[in-house]
Structure 1
Amino acid sequence: MRRIQLANGTTVEVECLSCALVNGVVEPDGGVIYESDYFHAHQDVAYPIRGLVILASKRHVKSLDELTEEEKIDYIQVLSKIRESQRKVLGIEYVYYFYNEDTTHHFHTWMVPRYEWMYDFGRSVESVRPVLLHARNEMNDDENMEEVKKSIAALTVELNR
């Protein structure tokens, strides 16, 4: 078991945080944005950026090539659906996508929107980590968190029509 402190200060003991999230043992702040047969989408509010979405496989696998053909098709369809909703509902023009295989969690992709204020940190992939740290350390006020939760709710409504 691993002991993990969540963004809201709650500490949980789980074998795998991703498994706990996709199985409903741990509820993400703002709730589940969307679920398909194979994937689960939510926001990690520890990084309070409007429209940031994490898309995680429900099955405990580490890499893209471990997905079944059905899961791969579902992954692309869900990823596209979320991206379309980010653009339509939140006006997000650009998104950076990240997934890594050397993680303690299982297969998941971060969809990190790009806003004008982020260009102060640069325009390349190298700017994303400083952007995330800035959001986590400087944007966790009540007003911004309320905006993030509104964006989660708006995406949830759009994606579950």
Structure 2
Amino acid sequence: MREITLSNGKTIKVECLSCALTSGLIEPDGGVVIEIDHFHAHQDVAYPIKGLIILASKRHIKCFDELTEAEKMDYINLLTKIRKAQREVLGIENVYYFYNEDTTHHFHTWMVPRYEWMYQFGRSVESVRPVLLHARNNMNSGENIKEVMNAINALGKELNK
């Protein structure tokens, strides 16, 4: 079991955060953005950044090459659909995508929007960690959380039409 602190300050103990989220054991802040046969998308539970989405496989796998053909199709189609909604609904022009195979969770992709305020930390992949830590430590204000929740609702509405 690992102990994880969520963006709302709650601490939970789980074997795998992704499994807990995709199975419904943990309800992500703002709820699920969209769920399909093989994938589940939600606002990242640790970093309150408007439009930051985690696209997680429902099946507990670690690597991209473990996806079945059906999962690959679901993945690319949903990734594209979410990105389009980020642009059209939230006005997000740039996104950094990350997935790593040495994670303690299972296969998931981070879709990290880039906002003007983030450029104070740089414009490369190296800037993402300081951006995330800044968000976790400094952006849990009522106003920002309200914006994040509104974004979750807007994306969910668009993606579940």
Give the TM bin, normalised by the shorter chain.
Answer: over 0.9
Displacement of 1:51 after TM fit?
0.5
Q: Distance in 1 between matches of 2:154 and 2:85?
A: 9
Mean Cα deviation higher: 8-17 or 151-160: 8-17
Q: Which residue of 1 aligns with 2:17?
A: 17
The percent identity for this pair of structures is 75
Question: Residues 2 and 138 from structure 1, CA distance in 2 versus in 1: closer, same or farther, beyond 3 angstroms?
Answer: closer
Displacement of 1:49 after TM fit?
0.9
Q: Which residue of 1 aligns with 2:155?
A: 155
TM-score by length of 2: 0.95
Displacement of 1:121 after TM fit?
1.0
User: Aligned Cα RMSD in Å?
Assistant: 1.1
Displacement of 1:111 after TM fit?
0.2
Query: Do the aligned partners of 2:48 and 2:148 also contact (CA within 8 Å) in 1?
Result: yes
Q: Which amino acid aligns with 1:33?
A: V
Listed as ranges, the gaps of 5+ residues in structure 2 are none
Q: Distance in 1 between matches of 2:80 and 2:159?
A: 11
Instruction: Trace 1:72-87 onto structure 2 (pairs within 5 A).
Output: 72-87=72-87
TM-score by length of 1: 0.95
Q: Which residue of 2 aligns with 1:62?
A: 62
Q: Which amino acid aligns with 1:25?
A: L
Query: Do the aligned partners of 2:2 and 2:13 also contact (CA within 8 Å) in 1?
Result: yes
Mean Cα deviation higher: 151-160 or 117-126: 117-126
Task: Determine if the alignment matches structure 1 residue 105 to structure 2 residue 96.
Answer: no
Secondary structure at the counterpart of residue 33 of structure 1: strand
Q: Which stretches of structure 1, 4 residues or longer, exceed 6 Å deviation after superposition? A: none
